[in-house]
Structure 1
Amino acid sequence: MSPILSITLAFLGTPVAHPPATFRFDPAHTGSITGVSAGAYGGMRWRIQTEGTVRSTPAEYDGTVYIGAGDGRVRAIDALTGSIMWQRDVDAPVTSSPAVTAREVVVVTQDGRVVALDRQKGEPIWNYKIGPDAPVWQGINGDYWTSSATVSGDVAYVGGGNGDVIALDVHSGTRKWKFHAPTRFHTTPAVANGMVYLGGFDGVFYAIGAETGILKWSYRTLGATLDSSKFGFDRKTIQSSAAVSEGKVYFGARDGLLYCLNARTGAFVWSYDHVMSWVNTSPAVADGVVYAGSSDKRFLQAVNAETGKEIWRVPTGLMWTSPAVAGSEVFSTDGDGRFIAFDRKTGARKWEIARTGQIWTSPFLSGDHGIFGSDDGGIYCFKLDSHGPIARAVYWDDAERTHTLSKFPAVRDALVKRGYQLLNNAGLADFFRARTADHRPSAVVMATGFFPEAAPFEAAKSYMAAGGKVVWCGIPPKMWPIEKTGQIDMADIDWDGTRQLMGVQPRTIFDSLATTPTPTGQAWGLHGMWLSDFAADPSTVTQVLAKDDHGFAAVWVKSFGGAPGSGFVRMSGMSLPEGPQFIDMLVNVAETFPGV
């Protein structure tokens, strides 16, 4: 064998080095990530429904997303398609963020165990019992998360609710050392400069030798001197996980302060006062700027990393999650159920995704997509589009008399609140023409029961062929000619009208039938069970997103040659006319453009 061939074969047999995937993107927890495509919100790629809340922040390794959930399962999901590669029940809720190596997926469970699963198959490798949580003041709330494991080299560092900080061999689970303090640790350790940094519920911040487990220094925050019972709410706990950058360590605390300390000595550098509003977020640090959120004051701020002087501040919902920096944006999630992109320099809001469920996972981004979990039990993956944001609109015209269903005003108002452009007759015609010309990913929800003369179905058909989507939640078009009279008359039923218009054959009218989503419908964001009406013959549609208990297509897609996710979608929700579940599922369906 020639020397060149030997070298080539040896190279091909060597796995490509891949750093561990961990909370906040790196062991130092800077919250800053590279390699993310610049772009705006390009719609949803997929959604997965779990059986619990999802407060675990995901991690991604080699194209696979790993995430825990309140149903006690850890899932491995293909980032492009949303296919579940495996799921493993670990017998307790998981709110920690997985730490992922070439072989292991390490999670910390709510009952105080560190569990390592095989990355490829999800099979258990080892299990380490930390112990029960140490007692704390009974008035503490919002203690949603355990520590996540931070992997650096071959060691996983974990903070324990029993007061232990442990270093475990990531491959075997063997303990290398243990540090103990009389407190509870639920923050995730940051590892840098040969030290492990984390704060406790006692208001003390600790720096521990990464090799030895010996305390290097500690810092008592203002909260360490306070009696929470005198305030009626917790002012002592450090829930924020620290970020380490350029010789400094940054963290927040429930005493209302954002702190900066010397990372080597623990000496105080500066603090920023949020005036008693908790600073639970783990700060993100990039290019000399610290980004942090505020709890009850409800804002995201940018602060000079050297001086602590505020650069800008923007309003948000309740912020307990941690911002992330990628490219020219800083991203946040909040308790109002939003994933928001801000301009890093000015704080200007660029775009947002809104859902009903509160979001307690921190923003995660990778490549051309982002992922978040929600208290609605969903795991969402959205696309970043370099060509601009998805165009979202809702049609409603006050001059028309044929808004015959009570849910139409609720649909209009809910979607406008979520940033959808409100279109009248002329606006709808303009929208169809513009999107037909530019092929921009787009969706228009029709809060009506007909196509107006200014934008007839032929215009909509050209729009859908160019990649647009029409979402319809009324009676199938042309089944009743209500645009002529404004009234529904049983004698006017035309069972063949929808088929002649678009090739879809209705099969039922007012029957209330139990409906559940298909696997494709689940990926589009449908979940649960509801009652539907006006189902269609499944053989006459392109995709069936939900079936009723007669096997008819209750939610369906009719394609007109556009890209995946485009076409005409009929969304039925007879039992959910104005509720948040219907609105959320309507938005999911409107904004989903699957990966290919």
Structure 2
Amino acid sequence: MRYRMPAALLAALCSLLIACSSPGADSAKTESAANATQPAVDAAADPIAERRAAVERVDDAAIIANASHGREWLTYNHGFSEQRYSRLKQINVDNVDRLGLAWSYNLGSTRGVEATPVVVGDTMYVTASWSVVHALDARTGEKLWQYDPQVPREYGARACCDVVNRGVAVAKGKVFVGTLDGYLVALDPATGEVLWRTDTFGHMREKKLQTITGAPRVFGDLVVIGNGGAELQTRGYLTAYNVHTGEQEWRWYSVPEDPEPPFADASMEMAAKTWDPDGAWRETGGGGTMWDSMAYDPELGLLYVGVGNGNPWNQDVRSPKGGDNLFLSSIVALKAKTGEYVWHYQEVPGDTWDFTAAQHIILADLEIDGEARKVLMHAPKNGFFFVIDRTDGSFISAEPFVDVNWAEGYDENGRPIIAEGARAKKAAREMRPSAYGAHNWHPMSFNPETGLVYIPAQGVPLAMESDPSFQPNTHQPGHPMSNLGWNIGHLVNTITPEAKPFGHLLAWDPVAQKEVWRQEYLSPWNGGTTTTAGGLVFQGSADARFIAYDAKTGDALWQVPVSSGVIAGPSTFEIDGTQYVSIAVGWGGVYGLAQRHSERMGTGRVYTFRLDGEAKMPEIPRAEDVRSTTLVSGYEYEAEDVGPGAQLYVSSCIFCHGVPGVNNGGSLPNPGYVDASVLESLPTLLIEGAWSSRGMPSFKGKLSEREAEQIAAFIQNTAESVAKQSK
């Protein structure tokens, strides 16, 4: 007798798709436009020496000067203020429809690409998945060199949100990249040769589960990088290294290691008072990773950093007696030279919803109520747009930019007014926004001429409730991803969320705290934005388009199809009087692992456009040419295996591969569309680690052959249920 999954259980599983890790190839191929007209290169010059000299001159003064003209793209977010605003305007609202391809370059990666291309002189530096760095001729797309750090593929299982990298930093004759396995590497900008390599994990390498996915920042003689992994087992920290030697200069931790003295510094003593000393955080590390956002004010000498979520997510188990749990979900200001704590503003005290504050920080000077204010602007996962005084951390305003049900607003002191039942201690509650965030890592931008911030806003439905049987660092079937070390402390989607997924580009007035215009998209998880003095906003979309909008009105002025969904942000630069716009394309990330919204399934690729570009767009395979779209059938199984298999699938597979036969597979395949022979061999494939070279973990010691058979039974049964319900 076959077991048919109840429709209610199937519906609940259908929405349980956050994400995790797996395959990726890193071969590279150049496809410069044969029929494009490119500016001439001075053959008499020594290109090796020129590339070195170009990066050697990049320092604080050069980064500040470049922000005034925008001819290069010298940092991840185009300057210390992180505004992603370029003063270039050769491409503008009147002629953007003339944009054509100048060149494209195949990154060779099948996983998520989140990097913004950095351009120094006539050289582009861009990263792909697995932390691979590509150096290209920015005029032609010709490959100059490639650096592959050879990240051990087991780190795919330690990356909650894909094996991604957001890009490099360049300064003082070096290209800096943080690798997924925790090294900060300095490269020769002309050859890609390793100049120095520092282990940022140190004594925590074996004991904790963590990664690096963010782009480093450089100021003075320091290069700064954080870590990721708050879903697993780690303690957040931010570290500054000497740009010349790679030696550690300072490190600041975001959560205390021990609630008892002696403390590392005054900030840790303050933080310890806000944590329950008997909570599960003592076993899991506490979280608070600083995996993305930083901004630097050279005038004030302050470095601002966004702190992530707690570990476990659920405060009921992390810190049962409550407390603010500093410095989770906070913006923290540090003295840039020493790492000394100066001030903080906590957006979500006692966070229990995975509302990280690690999203993009923008600095600007605004007139508010007739007064000139030095502000910090932030649109984090929790759905509120914050304006904070960056001199002292004082609260100015916060208003929701999407539908919010966890808080009713913020009081005059800047503390949230928590909605009744929002902590979901006794019953499941659909959270708006969810743990995917109203705005995730995808960079936003600010245009000083329009006064607007351009936010990749979104909603992915998710319901949560407190997990009364949670055990830290323990595999518990039915508890999401616990077999891979996740410590959530919540049960997820035990009820079916009512909200519908959405994604839109939102133009937001930070002074009036209101929406000015929006452009709706097919789905969530659309790319980062860049805005220009030409009156434009550029953004890529989840359905594989690259689009230019009028920054004032939101009218779409130009668009072009690209090889896959876009999650990264674009950059723009000028060489020999010609302005270019580049976007690195490659679908993936936490949402994109299990779900996609494009029929195109190409490898990662850089596209670069200019006015009247004449290069031919590359041929891109369609999804049905790459993956099966036929539900698996023919695998024989026992009905009693389906229930246990469902519990094991949730604890081992769900965030990476989605619901079998329901989700369509993102950068990772969906197991509902495999051949029956794969299910027959699943015990061997999982336990012997047949796919480990592509980033999928081996389940040796984590699953028995019998348990793998139960997972196979669940996959086949779910595919059958989907087929029956679709008739």
- 1:26 and 2:79 are equivalent in the alignment: yes
SS of equivalent to 1:384: strand
Corresponding residue number in structure 2 for 1:279:
439
| Counterpart position of 1:324 | 530
Take 2:455 and 2:139, find their aligned partners in 1: how far apart are those partners?
Answer: 30
Q: Is the 8 A contact 1:133 1:160 kept in 2?
A: no
1:184 is matched by which residue type in structure 2?
T
Q: Map residues 28-107 of structure 1 onto 2, 5 A cutoff.
A: 28-35=81-88, 37-38=90-91, 39-40=96-97, 41-53=99-111, 54-92=113-151, 95-107=165-177
2:586 pairs with 1:374 = yes
Shift of 1:333: 2.1
Partner of 2:275: none
Query: Structure 1 CA distance, aligned partners of 2:188 and 2:543?
Result: 35
**Does residue 336 of structure 1 match 2:543?**
yes
CA contact (8 A) 1:29 1:190 kept: yes
CA contact (8 A) 2:563 2:603 kept: no
Gaps of 5+ in 2: 1-49, 64-73, 152-162, 229-234, 256-287, 309-327, 366-373, 404-431, 460-501, 588-601, 626-665, 667-727
Residues 82 and 356 of structure 1: CA distance in aligned 2, closer, same or farther (over 3 Å): closer
Structure 1 Cα separation of the partners of residues 248 and 239 of structure 2: 7
Of 324-333 and 127-136, the range deviating more from structure 2: 127-136
Please name the residue that 2:246 is paired with: 173
AA paired with 2:610? L
- Paired residues in the alignment total 376
Report the counterpart of residue 227 of structure 1 in structure 2. Answer: 352
Query: What is the match of residue 236 of structure 2?
Result: 163
Q: What is the distance in 2 between the residues matched to 1:382 and 1:347?
A: 23
Paired residues of 1:102 and 1:119 also in contact (CA < 8 A)? no
Q: CA deviation at 1:35?
A: 3.0
- Give the distance between the partners of 2:333 and 2:197, measured in 1 at CA: 26
Contact 1:198 1:241 in 2 (8 A): no
Unmatched runs of 5 consecutive residues or more in structure 1: 1-11, 229-233, 391-440, 444-522, 532-579, 581-596
Whichever residue aligns with residue 285 of structure 1, its letter is F
Contact 1:48/1:82, CA 8 A, preserved across alignment: no
Residue type at the aligned position of 1:77? L
Shift of 1:94: 5.3
Alignment of 1:400-411 (within 5 A): none
Deviation at 1:86, TM superposition (A): 0.5
Q: Which one has the largest radius of gyration?
A: 1
Deviation at 1:37, TM superposition (A): 3.0
Shift in alpha-carbon separation, 1:166–1:145, aligned structure 2, 3 A: closer
The letter for the 2-side match of 1:379 is: R
Give runs of aligned pairs for residues 107-506 of structure 1, distance below 5 A: 107-131=177-201, 146-161=213-228, 162-182=235-255, 183-192=288-297, 193-201=300-308, 202-222=328-348, 224-228=349-353, 234=354, 236-246=355-365, 247-273=374-400, 274-275=402-403, 276-277=432-433, 278-280=438-440, 281-287=442-448, 288-296=451-459, 297-316=502-521, 317-319=523-525, 321-326=527-532, 327-367=534-574, 368-369=579-580, 370-375=582-587, 376-385=602-611
The CA distance in 1 between the partners of 2:545 and 2:246, in whole Å, is: 37
Please report how far the alpha carbon of residue 356 of structure 1 lies from its aligned counterpart in structure 2 after TM superposition. Answer: 5.0
Deviations 1:102-146 (A, max 9, x none): 51111111122211111011000112222269999x9xxxx9972
Q: Check whether the contact 2:179–2:212 (CA below 8 A) recurs between aligned residues.
A: no
> Whole-Å Cα distance in 2 between the matches of residues 358 and 343 of structure 1?
22
TM-score (norm 1): 0.58
Q: Secondary structure at the match of 2:196?
A: strand
Q: What is the CA-CA distance between 1:47 and the residue it aligns to? A: 2.6
Q: Which amino acid aligns with 1:28?
A: S
Residue pair 2:182, 2:211 contacting (<8 A) in 1 also: no
> Could you tell me whether the CA contact under 8 Å between 1:47 and 1:524 is conserved in 2?
no
User: Aligned pair in 2 of structure 1 residues 117, 332: CA closer, same or farther (>3 Å)?
Assistant: same
Q: Report what 2:264 is aligned to.
A: none
1:36 CA drift (Å):
5.3
Query: Is the Cα contact below 8 Å between 2:562 and 2:585 reproduced in 1?
Result: no
Per-residue CA deviation, residues 355-390 of structure 1 (Å, 9 max, x unaligned), is 3522221122222222322233322223221x6xx8
Relative distance call for 1:133 and 1:26 in structure 2 (3 A) is farther
Q: CA deviation at 1:79?
A: 1.3
- Cα 1:111–1:55 change in 2 (3 A) is same
Query: Is 174-183 or 315-324 further displaced after alignment?
Result: 315-324
For the aligned residues, what is the CA RMSD? Answer: 3.3
- When structure 1 is superposed on structure 2, of 82-91 and 308-317 the one drifting more is 308-317
Give the superposition deviation at 1:225: 3.5
AA in 1 matched with 2:604:
G
Q: Report Cα offsets for 1:70-104 as digits up to 9, x if no partner.
A: 24421101112211100111122551311112511
Checking the alignment, whether the CA contact within 8 Å between 1:324 and 1:330 is kept in structure 2 is yes
Contact 1:333 1:340 in 2 (8 A): yes
Instruction: Check the 8 A contact 1:49/1:378 in 2, yes or no.
Output: yes
**How far apart in 2 are the matches of 1:155 and 1:371?**
28
Post-superposition Cα deviations, 1:278-312, rounded to whole Å, max 9, x if no partner, equal 22243312213222121224111222232322222
Aligned residue identity for 2:293: T
CA distance in 2, matches of 1:135, 1:351: 50
2:368 match: none
As a proportion of its length, which structure holds more strand?
1
Could you say if the C-alpha distance between residues 104 and 333 of structure 1 is closer, same or farther in structure 2, counting changes exceeding 3 Å? Answer: same
